[in-house]
Structure 1
Amino acid sequence: MLQQLAGRLLTQRWALRPTSSIQPTHRAVRSAYTYRWTTPNQRVTQTLRRYSSTSSGQSEHKVPPFDQTEQVVSFASFLLFGGTFLYMTWRPSPVRGDAGNDSTPTLDSLSRTASLADSHTQESLPEAPLTSLLNQPLTGEVLPLAEYYPYVLVGGGTASYHAIRAIKEHDPEAEILIIGDEPLPPYSRPPLSKEMWFTQDQAKRRALRFTDWQGREQPLWYHDISAYRLVRTHPDHGTALVYSAQQTTKAPLLLAEHRVTDLDVEKQIVRLDNQQVVRYGKILLATGGTPRELELAEDLPENLREQVTTFRDVRDYQRLETTADRAKHIVVVGGGLLGSELAYALAAGRKLRVTQVLPETNVLHNLLPRYLAEWTTQLLTKGGVKVVTQQSVTNIRAATPGSQPESADSRQLRVELSNGDVVEADHVVQAVGIEPNVTLAKRAGLETDTTHGGIVVNAELEARRNVYVAGDVASFHDVLLGRRRVEHYDHAAQSGYLAGKNMCGARDAYTHQPMFWSDLGPNVTFDAVGVIDASLHTASVWAKPAESEGSTHSEEYGQGLVYYLRDSRIVGMVVWNLPGRIELARQVVLRGEFRYKHVQGLTRMFNIHQLETSSSA
């Protein structure tokens, strides 16, 4: 029974993703593992030794590496109970042509899906300045914005979009008002640093469309503007906010390019930036974050400010896209996920000279064990990125003092580094993290998290009576891992959906373990779940290449697993070049009881020696 169940889970539950690095063909079964045990900020490399942490290969850990009796019991228990739970509760991802975005966001459907465009989405957003998209003529009867709405969503991103889905599912007649500061309906951000740069058709990119990993053309937005009732000012109606009554009656109202300036949680009212007041029944704060900037960037003269930008939303993407068409050399500041993805995308996707500057010793320094971060840095270098480590930007000035910008080809900027080196470039992109937007919450007297940042919520994602929080700005308590704040797409979608559901009367706790993914070249594509922190102990298992697959004189990290350990307990996992395995990794973390000594048995479940073929291969 266990064997049948395990086989069913491995062959049916996870459809594999073909990538540039993992072709949908059978690989030769490899005969050995490469094991690694790393301590924080320490590299230990001993091939074909099981988790030793000394050069002699002797383990210094008091716990025996593998207690075979307990391993077998734990392994069987996990297969039986965890597998049975997955099999009984799993629902297939919706067929794109049937349900699209109107289905509940199951774990599988959100795992590596940055675009969830509905099959009925109108795919006709014009190639025009974003602001003009909101200036469509009002037709028929025009109504003013009401004084009260049962559901008000502050923020127009992924969390709010999935909250709308949940509300409409549980309260189909609901009137929903979305207030966002961008000139677009809710859209997916991950493609802005990934697929958009590798979409070859310029017309598609300018229309905010991209080709996904399955070769399908996708729009960036979830539903286009026609799916919303647009609220805006109109010359014929003075300064009043109005909308057309001819649009779909029960469609959500979208008030774009506006902000909420004040929130009164006792009176349940919000004040808009035009001073209009709206009462609410339930409110969702999904305000996301604001990109951090280098301190020196704030003091730059106006003519240089346009060439030293941050990267967060569609407008930032469009500015950088325009710059990339003219530029020859771009500097990316930051060694995290966003900075590394952008650096690789600009170098490999747009064939530009790219210099990546970071204060750490390697890219992804805070996420990956040191040996793996070093290897990833080397791969980025081979991909055309000049990675400058352990340096910071100390000054940015015009290449010729007093010169005015004319064209990006004139190398206008001199970027000075802390070691005295100077890099001449056309543009600088800052990718140094975000600050959660908590200003509104602080004014309203809501509790904020001084350690992790964000707005403190309970298990139901509620910050105060009738006030819910989701996405990047939510500081929530994870029963297994403690208080956390997560800045990833999967968390925004899942927390937004649960918040919307609870706004309709449910009292469900947020127990989801968010995942994230990254693609950093033809040999680096990984998924991660749980606490991914390089300061933790890690245990890694790698499939050793067969003799015929390459030289044995250099380390190669093809397919493998990295386990993150806190007090010897597995609290996070990175699944490296193994598409389709992240849900199994999520269940390992969710169990909360697997330890270092179980690693070998768990690894067998991931079948890292052999990649299955998809049904279409």
Structure 2
Amino acid sequence: MVKKRTLEARSKLQANKYPNQNACMKVAQSVEFVPDMDDDVGAGYADTRPSSTAQEVLKSSQCEKPPALAVDKSDDICKDPCEEFHRLRRETTIARGGGGDACGGGGEDDDKKKAEEKLKQLKLRCILGALAALVAGGLFAWLWSRQNKDGAGDGESPEDALKRAKISGFITTPSSSDKLPAHVPYLIVGGGTAAFSAFRAIKSNDAKAKVLMISNEFRKPYMRPPLSKELWYTPNPNEDPIKDYRFKQWTGSERSLYFEPEEFFVDPEKLDESVNGGIAVAQGFAVKKVDAENRIVTLSDGYQITYDTCLIATGCSPKNLPMFRDAPPSVQEKIMVYRTPDDFDRLRRYALQKRSITIVGNGFVGSELACSLAHYSKENNGGKVYQVFQESGNMSKVLPNYLSEWTTQKMKAQGVCVITDASIRTATRDESQLKLELNNGMSLLTDIVVVCVGCSPNTSMAGASKLEVDRSLGGFVVNAELEARRNLFVAGDASCFYDPLLGRRRVEHHDHSVVSGRLAGENMTGAKKPYTHQSMFWSDLGPEIGYEGIGLVDSSLPTVGVFAIPSNNDKRADSHTEVRADANADEQLKTATGPEMSCDPSEEPNYGKGVIFYLQNEKIVGILLWNLFNRIGLARTIINQNKSYDDLNEVAKLFEIHA
């Protein structure tokens, strides 16, 4: 039977077993506990699951005989057909061997025929019973596996499974690689933001361009930033998975996660005959080699496609922690990374079931996701959200220490149980949950762990393709025109480019993917333009924190922050200068003007609006706009000037932080 218990009861049990985690356990109300998709019992069998074992099920199935071969109605006991078979065989043998000559009865032949007829029937019944047992056992095993696979619908029919696969996109398009064109003028390896941005640029410069995009994902191109932000704040239907992933932007307008609807794309099998060109997406295929000299791309199954010009936009893949990668399968079932709409669907199911979710990591995705889940759980009376990381505050690689710690306090106020200066030592599993032992002595019980510790550029084809990969930054090394070899370009997360102002860089931001993809697409049509763009990024951590950054925004650099804080209805500016000897050293915090800033989130507003300058060789190399928007153009201009300033307070005035 399924055990149902309240969240309060579970919390008390957890607190009693692991008393050192009580600081993060606050239960506002009693909520009914719903079985997990990964639990031994699926949601679809909540109250009806039989307690019999597989052996009992198989044995009982033998009694479910076809009507034509049913036992005599006078039989009160369901007899084993195999036993009946062997008993009658013995009786027939006796009748044939010993009684004939002695008895000499005229009905001997009739008796033999009847016995043989009955023997044949029971032999057939025995075979059918064995087949029924096998079928029942297979059905039971299939249902059992469906219950224990996260994301699978319990009792889902094959037709429903196929429908789900089509919606989720887990079917290659086309069905086999030999249906793809053998030659295309423009070939794009990768199916993300940079790839689609390149197509738009190609089409703008070549109206009838035929573009083939090869993607190892099973979806059409989509944007990733809303997966950790806007999608969680937009009410979506209860369909699973969500079909179009519509979300409301901060401007109030609504759009889909996908760049274009399905009908926008050309069928890969019909690309050659398309008069006006277009873009076709080969979904679910991987490229293992690019021969730049002969302009040939080889797929993982050996199929080859020739091209005139090619773009590599393979992006990056989320990292996992070694302790989770090497964990037993039962533990790995409760570990996930976060990168795709399928990850969103899976995590949303946990949130809707009021599950306990633990985020590992304090970067962009980890911090945004923790905030979004806390909001989502609050709106749906959901479960607890934990965030665990080794650093002392959120976004510590980007924000100065004082701002990072203040942001952490704000996240706690939003309902995230943030556990700083901690790492996971061990992870074990019981029937339904993971037990995480932290290096600070705490223990956590959680239903799912989401690892958000950055990503690695997808450069696995580099060796076979004879392409250079930067040893320190990763990514394919390209020149100023984003060209790795002649007629072979790289854009997006996987490109390692040279910035004339800031040196060689690799950037993992949406804006960089858009702009570098666009430039690569233009150069594929012969533009030959250098990449000089300073890409920007943005992030939102709840209703009170939103920021935009540009340039080299690295907290290991010296920073100067100027903030406008209303006090007694008068406007004043406070300035903070922070210098770090290195990325891991303790910082020296000085107040240039005004009293020392308070990091108590109860005092509103603290760090309401401001600008932080990041310095290198006394020049501004990065700017972070804190709750300031529509000023990124000014920030880009200041960085491009590559100047030293005597008074950064005067520079801060340009941003009108009091407006």
- For the structure 1 residues 379 and 144, does the alpha-carbon distance in structure 2 shift closer, same or farther, using more than 3 Å as the test? same
Q: Distance in 1 between matches of 2:338 and 2:277?
A: 35
In structure 1, the partner of 2:293 is 266
Alignment check: 8 A CA contact 1:157 1:186 kept: yes
- For the structure 1 residues 184 and 274, does the alpha-carbon distance in structure 2 shift closer, same or farther, using more than 3 Å as the test? same
Q: Distance in 2 between matches of 1:297 and 1:492?
A: 30
Are 2:404 and 1:373 equivalent residues in the alignment? yes
Aligned counterpart in structure 1 of residue 517 of structure 2, from 496, 503, 523: 496
Which has more radius of gyration? 2
Per-residue displacement from partner, 1:84-138 (whole Å, max 9, x unpaired)?
A: xxxxxxxxxxxxxxxxxxxxxxxxxxxxxxxxxxxxxxxxxx9954556587999
Write the letter of the residue equivalent to 1:507.
K
Per-residue displacement from partner, 1:558-593 (whole Å, max 9, x unpaired)?
A: 000000000110000000101111111111111112
Once the 2 structures are TM-superposed, how far is the Cα of residue 203 of structure 1 from its aligned partner? 4.6
Which residues of 2 match residues 102-501 of structure 1 at below 5 A? 128-130=164-166, 144-203=179-238, 206-207=242-243, 208-231=245-268, 242-243=269-270, 249-351=276-378, 352-398=383-429, 400=430, 403=431, 405=432, 412-501=433-522
Aligned length: 461
In structure 2, the partner of 1:103 is none
Q: Distance in 2 between matches of 1:133 and 1:393?
A: 34
Once the 2 structures are TM-superposed, how far is the Cα of residue 323 of structure 1 from its aligned partner? 2.0
Are 2:615 and 1:565 equivalent residues in the alignment? yes
In structure 1, the partner of 2:598 is 554
Once the 2 structures are TM-superposed, how far is the Cα of residue 249 of structure 1 from its aligned partner? 4.8
- For the structure 1 residues 136 and 387, does the alpha-carbon distance in structure 2 shift closer, same or farther, using more than 3 Å as the test? closer
Alignment check: 8 A CA contact 1:270 1:278 kept: yes
Secondary structure, aligned partner of 1:544: strand
Point out the more displaced range, 482-491 or 578-587.
578-587
Alignment check: 8 A CA contact 1:442 1:448 kept: no
Q: Distance in 1 between matches of 2:276 and 2:170?
A: 19
Q: Distance in 2 between matches of 1:437 and 1:263?
A: 14
Secondary structure, aligned partner of 1:168: helix
Alignment check: 8 A CA contact 1:282 1:467 kept: yes
Once the 2 structures are TM-superposed, how far is the Cα of residue 181 of structure 1 from its aligned partner? 1.2
Uncovered stretches (5+) of structure 1, i.e. residues with no partner: 1-125, 232-241, 406-411, 611-617
Per-residue displacement from partner, 1:310-368 (whole Å, max 9, x unpaired)?
A: 00112211221222221421100001111000111101123341110101111111111
Write the letter of the residue equivalent to 1:601.
E
Write the letter of the residue equivalent to 2:299.
L
Once the 2 structures are TM-superposed, how far is the Cα of residue 202 of structure 1 from its aligned partner? 3.0
Write the letter of the residue equivalent to 2:242.
R
- For the structure 1 residues 575 and 592, does the alpha-carbon distance in structure 2 shift closer, same or farther, using more than 3 Å as the test? same
Uncovered stretches (5+) of structure 2, i.e. residues with no partner: 1-161, 573-594, 600-605
Write the letter of the residue equivalent to 1:343.
A
Once the 2 structures are TM-superposed, how far is the Cα of residue 230 of structure 1 from its aligned partner? 3.2
Q: Distance in 1 between matches of 2:416 and 2:350?
A: 18
Secondary structure, aligned partner of 1:492: helix
Per-residue displacement from partner, 1:381-411 (whole Å, max 9, x unpaired)?
A: 111111111111122111x3xx3x4xxxxxx
Q: Distance in 2 between matches of 1:605 and 1:157?
A: 36
Write the letter of the residue equivalent to 1:421.
M
Q: Distance in 2 between matches of 1:127 and 1:578?
A: 45
Per-residue displacement from partner, 1:532-578 (whole Å, max 9, x unpaired)?
A: 11110001110121314999983510000000000110000000101
Secondary structure, aligned partner of 1:477: strand
Point out the more displaced range, 316-325 or 570-579.
316-325
Q: Distance in 1 between matches of 2:393 and 2:354?
A: 26
Q: Distance in 2 between matches of 1:132 and 1:419?
A: 40
Write the letter of the residue equivalent to 2:518.
Y
In structure 2, the partner of 1:592 is 642
In structure 2, the partner of 1:535 is 556
Write the letter of the residue equivalent to 1:152.
L
- For the structure 1 residues 420 and 299, does the alpha-carbon distance in structure 2 shift closer, same or farther, using more than 3 Å as the test? same
In structure 2, the partner of 1:92 is none
Q: Distance in 2 between matches of 1:572 and 1:130?
A: 44
Alignment check: 8 A CA contact 2:361 2:367 kept: yes
Once the 2 structures are TM-superposed, how far is the Cα of residue 184 of structure 1 from its aligned partner? 1.4
- For the structure 1 residues 392 and 132, does the alpha-carbon distance in structure 2 shift closer, same or farther, using more than 3 Å as the test? closer
Point out the more displaced range, 417-426 or 336-345.
417-426
Write the letter of the residue equivalent to 2:320.
E
Alignment check: 8 A CA contact 1:330 1:353 kept: yes
Per-residue displacement from partner, 1:153-173 (whole Å, max 9, x unpaired)?
A: 000000011100110011111
Per-residue displacement from partner, 1:169-224 (whole Å, max 9, x unpaired)?
A: 11111111100011211111000000001112335882311111122221001112
Write the letter of the residue equivalent to 1:193.
S
Secondary structure, aligned partner of 1:435: strand
In structure 2, the partner of 1:576 is 626
Alignment check: 8 A CA contact 2:571 2:658 kept: no
Write the letter of the residue equivalent to 1:385.
V
Aligned counterpart in structure 1 of residue 658 of structure 2, from 603, 609, 612: 609
Q: Distance in 2 between matches of 1:356 and 1:230?
A: 44
Point out the more displaced range, 126-135 or 157-166.
126-135
Alignment check: 8 A CA contact 2:172 2:282 kept: no
Once the 2 structures are TM-superposed, how far is the Cα of residue 253 of structure 1 from its aligned partner? 1.4
Secondary structure, aligned partner of 1:586: helix
Per-residue displacement from partner, 1:496-520 (whole Å, max 9, x unpaired)?
A: 0000000111110001000000000
Secondary structure, aligned partner of 1:172: coil
Point out the more displaced range, 349-358 or 191-200.
349-358
- For the structure 1 residues 127 and 591, does the alpha-carbon distance in structure 2 shift closer, same or farther, using more than 3 Å as the test? farther
In structure 2, the partner of 1:5 is none
Name the % identity. Answer: 40
Write the letter of the residue equivalent to 2:653.
R
More helix by share: 2
- For the structure 1 residues 135 and 340, does the alpha-carbon distance in structure 2 shift closer, same or farther, using more than 3 Å as the test? closer
Alignment check: 8 A CA contact 1:130 1:183 kept: no
Write the letter of the residue equivalent to 2:263.
S
Write the letter of the residue equivalent to 2:548.
D
Secondary structure, aligned partner of 2:255: strand
In structure 2, the partner of 1:95 is none
Secondary structure, aligned partner of 2:646: helix
Alignment check: 8 A CA contact 1:184 1:225 kept: no
Per-residue displacement from partner, 1:68-96 (whole Å, max 9, x unpaired)?
A: xxxxxxxxxxxxxxxxxxxxxxxxxxxxx
- Name the structure, 1 or 2, with higher relative contact order (CA <8 Å, separation 6+): 1
In structure 1, the partner of 2:134 is none
- For the structure 1 residues 135 and 308, does the alpha-carbon distance in structure 2 shift closer, same or farther, using more than 3 Å as the test? closer
- For the structure 1 residues 209 and 165, does the alpha-carbon distance in structure 2 shift closer, same or farther, using more than 3 Å as the test? same
- For the structure 1 residues 203 and 211, does the alpha-carbon distance in structure 2 shift closer, same or farther, using more than 3 Å as the test? farther
Write the letter of the residue equivalent to 1:418.
N
Per-residue displacement from partner, 1:586-613 (whole Å, max 9, x unpaired)?
A: 11111112x2414222212111111xxx
